[in-house]
Amino acid sequence: MNRDVKIVTIVSAISGLCSGMFEILFTLYLNDLNVSLYTMGVIFSVSGVISFLVLVILGTQSDVWGRKVVYSASLLIASISSFFTSMLKNLGELTIAQITWNFSLKSRAAVHPTFIFETVRKGYARIIARIQGIELTLNATGFTVAGSVLLYLGFQRSFLALSLVLLGSFVVFLTVREPSRPKVERKSIREMYSFDISRQLKIICVYNLIFGIGFAVCHSVFIYTLFFLKKFAVDPITLSLILGIHHFGFGLTLIFVSRLFGKPSLNLKKVLISSNLLFGLSYIVTALIPSLITAYAVWLLHNILGSAFYYPTQQTLTQNFSRDDTRGKDVNMTAASMSIGQAIGPIIGGYLAEIDISLPFIVGGIIVALGSLILIPLDQGARSS
């Protein structure tokens, strides 16, 4: 890794740590305020709608402004969001806080993989898997320690501490250089949202939409957090440990399998279909098991055998099928289709959870598994870079 990629890796790790802590703290905070599961679903869905608009606009405009300005702003907004969350109790205000937090996450997501791709293209699949693995390992650490931090600091000081750490990551990121890329003229709103992408990316868009719905139904943070909290009646520290190990499984597996993505003969299409099926099936089976330990062991497979292979594969295919001069738009047009699904999914998940806390796992898992059918027409020649 060169100097700039190393700095992005450090910032990514810090962001992962803070994101893990914020997500569980925010969910527990809403639960502490007796917010219903359905209302939580609405809150997360509203933020998902905003994400769709953010990804397309920022992705396209990053082709004009540059990746660094968008990335920097995302870190600063995350710090501000966490700072104000510590002071809020009103449901409307908390909804705005979640929208702002999600805005910061999606802003970073709009440029993070492209920034890395344009900085170091050779071996991208291996590098993005390794960086994401490190981020998710720190994300797991955030989930693991959140319960203890909450007991020691309380909600307000915990959110304030996260705000300060994120502000530090913003300062660190300011030292990176803008990656070289073709100069692009400013685009109109109509051009931003035009669906002028390749056939292969259109297939990925449809797949992302289906996956996004299923993923959000069963894997929205409030769903899987409260699944273990309510179904198995675990305490906050045990819950943090459960969710932390889950994210460690994702992050550490990504680092381990990153070597596999260095092989040019790797068929990314087959990897994506297989990992997608395993993701969906693990959720369905988990919902049907009454024992905490057994259910948790099966649930972990969605990361170890599913997501750890899915993420770098999906990211690499998207970059490979994107155009150099409109890479920001192409990448984020496909990502935006997943955001639409993730805007729909939480409402469905919240509604199903009110009926039975296991239902989101079953329904979401089925939707994700069926999404594999969409990938069949994808280019057979897709290979790791």
pLDDT band at 29 (very low <50, low <70, confident <90, very high): confident
Task: Give the containing element (helix H, strand E) for 283.
Answer: helix 268-287
- What is the rounded average pLDDT of the residues 179-186? 69
217-254 pLDDT, tens digit each: 998 878 888 898 888 988 877 887 887 787 787 778 88
196-217 pLDDT, tens digit each: 788 899 999 999 999 999 999 9
Q: Judge whether residue 274 has pLDDT over 80.
A: yes
User: Does 46 map to a domain?
Assistant: yes
Q: Are the C-beta atoms of 358 and 365 separated by less than 8 Å?
A: no
83-141 pLDDT, tens digit each: 988 787 777 888 888 888 888 888 888 788 888 888 887 778 888 888 988 998 888 88
Lowest-pLDDT choice from 4-8, 152-156, 272-276, 293-297? 152-156
- What is the rounded average pLDDT of the residues 339-356? 86
- What is the rounded average pLDDT of the residues 300-309? 84
Classify 35 as helix, strand or coil: coil
User: Does 17 map to a domain?
Assistant: yes
User: Does 184 map to a domain?
Assistant: no
Q: How far is CA 342 from the centre of its chain?
A: 10
- What is the rounded average pLDDT of the residues 329-348? 82
Q: Are the C-beta atoms of 125 and 6 separated by less than 8 Å?
A: no
User: Token pair 């007796």 is at which residue?
Assistant: 34
User: Does 53 map to a domain?
Assistant: yes
Q: What percent of the chain has pLDDT over 70?
A: 92
Q: Judge whether residue 154 has pLDDT over 70.
A: yes
Classify 267 as helix, strand or coil: strand
Domain count, the chain: 1
Dihedrals phi, psi of 341, to nearest 5 degrees: -60, -40
Buried/exposed 10-48: b ≥16 CB within 10 Å, e otherwise: ebbbbbbbbbbbbbbbbbbbbbeeebebbebbbbbbbbb
Residue numbers of the domain that contains 199: 3-176+189-375
Q: Judge whether residue 384 has pLDDT over 60.
A: no
pLDDT band at 263 (very low <50, low <70, confident <90, very high): confident
63-72 pLDDT, tens digit each: 777 788 889 9
Dihedrals phi, psi of 367, to nearest 5 degrees: -60, -45
Top-confidence residue, 193 or 47: 47
Q: Judge whether residue 287 has pLDDT over 90.
A: yes
Dihedrals phi, psi of 264, to nearest 5 degrees: -65, -20
* Distance separating alpha carbons of residues 204 and 209, to the nearest angstrom: 9
User: Does 90 map to a domain?
Assistant: yes
Query: Cα dihedral sign for 163, 168, 170, 171?
Result: positive
**DSSP type of residue 265:** T
pLDDT for residue 1: 65
User: Does 382 map to a domain?
Assistant: no
- What is the rounded average pLDDT of the residues 1-8? 86
What contacts 290, CB < 8 A, 6 or more positions away? none
* Distance separating alpha carbons of residues 139 and 23, to the nearest angstrom: 10
pLDDT for residue 329: 77
pLDDT for residue 188: 61
pLDDT band at 55 (very low <50, low <70, confident <90, very high): low
Q: How many helices (H) and strands (E) does the chain have?
A: 14, 0
User: Does 385 map to a domain?
Assistant: no
CATH of the domain at 244: 1.20.1250.20
pLDDT for residue 80: 92
Top-confidence residue, 24 or 8: 8
